[in-house]
């Protein structure tokens, strides 16, 4: 039985209905922000927990202590920063060799209690979320009390429909308070959320739903981004056809767009309006999984990186406060989507566990024009902005006037994450955006690390900041550079594989359903240590990231496995084989370069093949994965043992063909000249499009 749901008017009615008592709740207004700002506390001593400890006088002392006594260090922080229903009796039990990671053993905790309930008494009427909707000036404010109501109601709806502790729920929602409420409602009842970025295709969504064996999906009728509507429900319908595990789909009305409601579909807003506002939180074991987040690895199959309640929450809470020097009353503007780890850690869990006011940015950096970020800063008086180098580079290209038009005097820190921040972009951020007044906080971390591991100023206001490097490991983070012989290099001005020697609470606990892959990927390459997959350079004790060492690309700050794209291109009926590599790209950081060997007898024009292959990648993965360059080649450079020499392909893609190194081991060295010759044409053809 199908029914049509929604009209613009119906939406108004339903969307406000989730808060039955909304009219009784104090409506958060913009002036609250000013009250908060005025009430801002003077900077508290960093880590007051250690203020009375003998021998800890400086940041350096504390750093040493955090490495020498990690259990004491993290134990004290977990105890004081979070609310535990039952205290833990042991801080850690980790064995990196087996990928066994457990923090705060036997502690009982719930993430939604830590992010919402605990703030009701002192800051129930404070704004928790500012929803900066796509159209500038249409923002909405949600207090902690309102968020609490939403979370409880949604959790009750889940329970009524049979969702249980331990179930996996896929969230495919636009950036919205409902998305945050959905994450927290899952955690309230002990279900594991797996947020799938709402730009992923039906096939990518289905792959994640199947891997997680999620019985429940939460989606919306449509998303809105950059003035365009995104048909989320339709994409979910296509995905569900491939997923026999799905039993129910909750549909939130974001736009009121007409959607067809099928047998599995449940109108979320309507059900929430009737649900109770009280839902007892399920007490979770600290080590229980809070969420899975799929990320690309060097094979074709994305992996469900798993994070725990107690460890993850401790780490995001502590790093949020100290890396950004967050002060009570500040407004934190992380521009990332909740579909990525940055959104999980620094839009949702880090800020909310600190009782902060956090921004949910629904739009794009260039909508309606390239002044959008700075207009948002002025309108909402953001104290912190946290964005991607790709966005920054594209705004830099649009010129200074878009920035100068708006008042940025509220800003104190300018953060970035996801890819190397080049010097030019750093200087622009510092000089033009921040007018030399703000700290540039270049943060290095990963989906697997849970939170920031390297950043210029973990709490030390006086520390020097150097351009274009994340610089200093966070407290408790024991970095190592490993050389080609597999030895830890203690020297200065050295490069190597970036590893972390000691476990920390934010470290992922497993890859969902494949613990062996977890061990093999992160703990086998350099036994006893966590291998990040990145290379780094250390000079004067400061760290600079040099890029991925595996077959993972970083495009617009998002990870993509080369194998993932090759798998899709290989499925085109005309391709015999493919090889995908990255190349330096002015805006995106890294571009995608696809070498294609066609089957014999294919006469389709290259331009047609380009279009078809682009559509294939877009439909199977997402737009950001679409290759920038397609080069058709008679064969690929292979060693005599059959291995593709990707080094050569990378150099050709990067126009760096003067020194190709030893190619004598190739089965057919002449192919290199052919590839170089054709590369110019391929790049030109793509530049024209
Ligand atoms: O290569 C590093 C790069 O992004 C990778 C992690 O990607 P993901 O798990 O998607 O998380 C991105 C957001 C936390 C890293 O292995 N990366 C991240 N931050 C930086 C960086 N590269 C250079 N500088 C950074 N600040």
Nearest CA to ligand 1 atom 26: 444
**∠ at Cα 222 (221, 228), nearest 5°?**
165
Residue 626: pLDDT band by 50, 70, 90 thresholds?
Answer: very high
Which of 342, 444, 450, 530 maximizes ligand 1 atoms within 8 Å of its Cβ, making it the mutation to test the pocket?
Answer: 444
Q: Is the pLDDT at 641 greater than 90, yes or no?
A: no
Q: Count the neighbouring beta carbons within 10 Å of the beta carbon of residue 112.
A: 26
Tell me the three-class secondary structure of 555-589, residue by residue: ECCEEEEHHHHHHHHHCCCCEEEEEEEEEEECCCE
- Please provide the CATH number assigned to the domain covering 552-688: 3.30.300.30
Task: Let me know: does 524 contact 113? Beta carbons within 8 Å.
Answer: no
Question: Strands 108-109 and 510-511, how do they pair?
Answer: unpaired
Ligand 1 centroid–CA 448 distance in Å is 10
Question: Strands 384-387 and 413-417, how do they pair?
Answer: parallel
Nearest CA to ligand 1 atom 18: 418
**β partners of residue 496:** 536
Which of 554, 624, 625 maximizes ligand 1 atoms within 8 Å of its Cβ, making it the mutation to test the pocket?
Answer: 554
Chain centre distance of CA 344: 7
Q: Which atom of ligand 1 is nearest to the CA of 445?
A: 14
Give buried/exposed letters for 298-336 (b at 16+ CB in 10 A, else e).
Answer: eebbbbbbbbbbbbbbbbbbbbbbbbbbbbbbbbbbbbb
Q: Which atom of ligand 1 is nearest to the CA of 545?
A: 23
3-state secondary structure of 514: coil
CB under 6 Å to ligand 1: residues? 295, 341-342, 417-420, 442-447, 470, 532-534, 545, 548, 554, 558-559
Q: Which atom of ligand 1 is nearest to the CA of 443?
A: 26
Ligand 1 centroid–CA 137 distance in Å is 32
Ligand 1 centroid–CA 240 distance in Å is 31
Q: In angstroms, what CA-CA distances link 657 with 218, 433, 531, 548, 652?
A: 49, 37, 30, 21, 6
In 3D space, the residue among 464, 472, 389 whose CA is nearest the CA of residue 423 turns out to be 389
Tell me how far apart the alpha carbons of residues 686 and 279 are, in angstroms, rounded to a whole number: 55
> Would you report the helix, strand and coil content of the chain in percent, each value rounded to 5?
35, 25, 40
Residue 53: pLDDT band by 50, 70, 90 thresholds?
Answer: confident
Ligand 1 centroid–CA 503 distance in Å is 19
pLDDT at 286: 98
Residue 19: pLDDT band by 50, 70, 90 thresholds?
Answer: very low
Ligand 1 centroid–CA 339 distance in Å is 15
Ligand 1 centroid–CA 447 distance in Å is 8
Considering only residues 86 and 682, tell me which one the structure prediction assigns the higher pLDDT. 86
Residue written as token pair 């009701």: 120
Nearest CA to ligand 1 atom 22: 419
Q: Which atom of ligand 1 is nearest to the CA of 532?
A: 16
What is the DSSP code string of 36-95?
HHHTPPPPPPS-GGGTT-TT--SHHHHHHHHHHSHHHHHHHHHHHHS--SB--SEEEEEE
Across 125-200, the runs of DSSP E, i.e. the strands, are 127-132, 140-143, 168-172, 192-195
In which region does residue 256 sit, left (phi positive, over 0), alpha (psi from -120 to 50) or beta (all else)?
A: left
Q: What is the pTM of this model?
A: 0.89
Both tokens of 294, joined, read 């799929």
Tell me how far apart the alpha carbons of residues 558 and 552 are, in angstroms, rounded to a whole number: 10
Q: How far apart are the first and last CA of the chain?
A: 46
pLDDT per residue over 244-301, tens digit each?
999 999 999 999 998 999 999 999 999 999 999 999 999 999 999 999 999 988 777 8
Residue 316: pLDDT band by 50, 70, 90 thresholds?
Answer: very high
Q: Is the pLDDT at 22 greater than 60, yes or no?
A: no
Where helices occur in 171-220 by DSSP H, the ranges are: 177-189, 202-212
Ligand 1 centroid–CA 184 distance in Å is 25
3-state secondary structure of 306: strand
Tell me how far apart the alpha carbons of residues 474 and 476 are, in angstroms, rounded to a whole number: 6
Tell me how far apart the alpha carbons of residues 86 and 309 are, in angstroms, rounded to a whole number: 13
Tell me how far apart the alpha carbons of residues 49 and 318 are, in angstroms, rounded to a whole number: 12
Q: Which atom of ligand 1 is nearest to the CA of 470?
A: 26
Q: Which atom of ligand 1 is nearest to the CA of 336?
A: 13
Ligand 1 centroid–CA 627 distance in Å is 20
Tell me how far apart the alpha carbons of residues 374 and 428 are, in angstroms, rounded to a whole number: 14
Task: Let me know: does 349 contact 500? Beta carbons within 8 Å.
Answer: no
pLDDT per residue over 582-613, tens digit each?
999 999 999 999 999 998 899 999 999 999 99
Ligand 1 centroid–CA 70 distance in Å is 25
Chain centre distance of CA 102: 23
pLDDT at 688: 62
pLDDT per residue over 346-405, tens digit each?
999 999 999 999 999 999 999 999 999 999 999 999 999 999 998 999 899 999 999 999
């Amino acid at each position: 039985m199908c029914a049509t749901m929604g009209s613009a008017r119906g939406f108004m009615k339903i969307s406000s209905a989730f808060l039955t008592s909304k009219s009784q709740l104090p409506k958060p207004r913009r002036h609250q922000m000013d009250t908060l700002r005025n009430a801002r506390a003077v900077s508290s001593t960093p880590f007051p927990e250690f203020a009375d400890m003998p021998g800890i006088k400086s940041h350096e002392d504390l750093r040493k202590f955090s490495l020498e006594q990690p259990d004491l260090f993290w134990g004290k922080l977990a105890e004081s920063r979070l609310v535990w229903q039952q205290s833990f009796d042991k801080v850690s039990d980790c064995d990196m060799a087996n990928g066994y990671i457990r923090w705060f053993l036997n502690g009982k905790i719930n993430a939604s209690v830590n992010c919402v309930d605990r703030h009701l008494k002192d800051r129930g009427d404070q704004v928790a979320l500012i929803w900066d909707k796509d159209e500038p000036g249409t923002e909405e404010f949600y207090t902690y009390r309102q968020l609490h109501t939403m979370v409880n109601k949604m959790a009750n709806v889940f329970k009524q429909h049979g969702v249980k502790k331990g179930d996996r729920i896929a969230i495919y929602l636009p950036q919205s308070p409902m998305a945050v409420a959905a994450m927290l409602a899952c955690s309230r009842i002990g279900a594991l959320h797996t947020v799938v970025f709402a730009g992923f295709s039906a096939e990518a969504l289905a792959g994640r739903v199947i891997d997680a064996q999620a019985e429940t999906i939460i989606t919306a009728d449509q998303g809105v981004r950059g003035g365009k509507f995104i048909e989320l429900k339709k994409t979910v319908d296509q995905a569900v056809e491939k997923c026999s595990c799905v039993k129910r789909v909750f549909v939130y009305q974001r736009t009121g767009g007409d959607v067809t409601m099928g047998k599995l579909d449940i109108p979320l807003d309507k059900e929430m309006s009737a649900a109770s506002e009280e839902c007892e939180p399920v007490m979770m074991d600290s080590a229980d999984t809070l969420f899975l987040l799929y990320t690309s690895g060097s094979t074709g199959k994305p992996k469900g990186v798993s994070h725990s309640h107690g460890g993850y929450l401790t780490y995001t809470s502590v790093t949020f406060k100290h890396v950004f020097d967050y002060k009570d009353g500040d407004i934190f503007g992380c521009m990332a989507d909740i579909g990525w780890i940055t959104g999980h850690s620094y839009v949702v869990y880090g800020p909310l566990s600190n009782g902060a006011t956090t921004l949910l940015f629904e739009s794009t950096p260039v909508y309606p024009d390239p002044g959008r970020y700075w207009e948002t800063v002025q309108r909402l008086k953001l104290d912190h902005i946290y964005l991607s180098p790709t966005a920054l580079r594209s705004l830099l290209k649009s010129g200074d006037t878009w920035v100068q038009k708006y008042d940025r005097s509220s800003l104190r820190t300018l953060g970035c994450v996801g890819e190397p921040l080049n010097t030019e972009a750093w200087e622009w951020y510092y000089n033009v955006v921040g007018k030399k007044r703000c700290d540039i906080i270049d943060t290095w971390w990963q989906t697997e690390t849970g939170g920031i591991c390297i950043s210029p100023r973990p709490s030390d206001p006086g520390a020097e900041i150097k351009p274009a490097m994340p610089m200093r490991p966070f407290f408790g983070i024991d970095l190592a550079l490993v050389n080609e012989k597999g030895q830890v290099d203690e020297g200065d001005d050295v490069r190597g594989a970036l590893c972390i020697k000691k476990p920390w609470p934010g470290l992922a606990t497993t890859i969902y359903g494949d613990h062996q892959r977890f061990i093999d990927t992160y703990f086998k390459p350099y036994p006893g240590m966590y291998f990040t997959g990145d290379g780094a350079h250390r000079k004067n004790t400061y760290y600079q990231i040099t890029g991925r060492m595996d077959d993972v690309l970083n495009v617009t700050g998002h990870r993509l496995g080369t194998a993932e794209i090759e798998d899709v291109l290989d499925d085109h009926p005309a391709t015999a084989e493919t090889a995908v590599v990255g190349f330096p790209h002015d805006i995106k950081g890294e571009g995608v370069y696809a070498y294609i060997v066609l089957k014999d007898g294919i006469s389709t024009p290259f331009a047609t093949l380009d279009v078809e292959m682009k559509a294939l990648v877009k439909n199977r993965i997402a737009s950001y994965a679409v290759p920038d360059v397609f080069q058709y080649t008679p064969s690929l450079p292979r060693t005599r043992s059959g291995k593709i020499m990707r080094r050569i392909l990378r150099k050709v893609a990067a126009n760096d063909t003067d020194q190709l190194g030893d190619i004598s081991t190739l089965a057919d060295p002449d192919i290199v000249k052919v590839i170089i010759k054709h590369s110019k044409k391929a790049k030109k053809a793509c530049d024209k499009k």
